[in-house]
Amino acid sequence: MFQLLTLSSLPLFPLNAVLFPGGVLPLRVFEVRYLDMVRKCHRTGAPFGVVALADGHEVRQAGAPQESLHIVGTLAVIEQLQDLQPGLMQVRCRGTERFRVLHQQLLPHALWMADVEQLPCDAQVRIPRDLQHTATMLAQVSASLRERDPNTASHPQPSPTQLQNCGWVANRWCELLPVPLELKQQLMQLDNPLVRLELVADVLERTGIAL
Tally of structural domains, the chain: 2
125: how many CB neighbours lie within 10 A of its CB?
A: 17
d(CA 163, CA 156): 13
pLDDT for the residue 4: 56
Q: Which residues of 91-102 are buried (b: 16+ CB within 10 A; e: fewer)?
A: bbbbbbbbbbbe
Per residue in 164-189, pLDDT (tens digit) is 999 999 999 999 999 999 999 999 99
- What is the CATH number for 23? 2.30.130.40
Query: What's the predicted TM-score (pTM) here?
Result: 0.90
pLDDT for the residue 154: 60
Domain range spanning residue 149?
Answer: 129-206
d(CA 120, CA 189): 11
d(CA 142, CA 184): 19
- Shared domain for 114 and 11, answered yes or no, is yes
In this predicted model, which residue has the larger pLDDT, 66 or 155?
66
Q: Which of 57, 89, 118 is the last residue of a domain?
A: 118
Task: Evaluate if residue 2 carries a pLDDT over 50.
Answer: no
Task: Evaluate if residue 17 carries a pLDDT over 70.
Answer: yes
- Shared domain for 85 and 187, answered yes or no, is no
Per residue in 50-91, pLDDT (tens digit) is 999 998 887 776 666 778 999 999 999 999 999 988 889 999
- Shared domain for 89 and 143, answered yes or no, is no
d(CA 204, CA 211): 9
192: how many CB neighbours lie within 10 A of its CB?
A: 13
- What is the CATH number for 168? 1.10.4060.10
3-state helix, strand and coil shares in percent for the chain, rounded to the nearest 5: 35, 30, 35
Q: Which of 118, 150, 173 is the last residue of a domain?
A: 118
Contacts of 24 (CB under 8 A, 6+ apart): 92, 93, 94, 95, 153, 154
- Shared domain for 34 and 76, answered yes or no, is yes
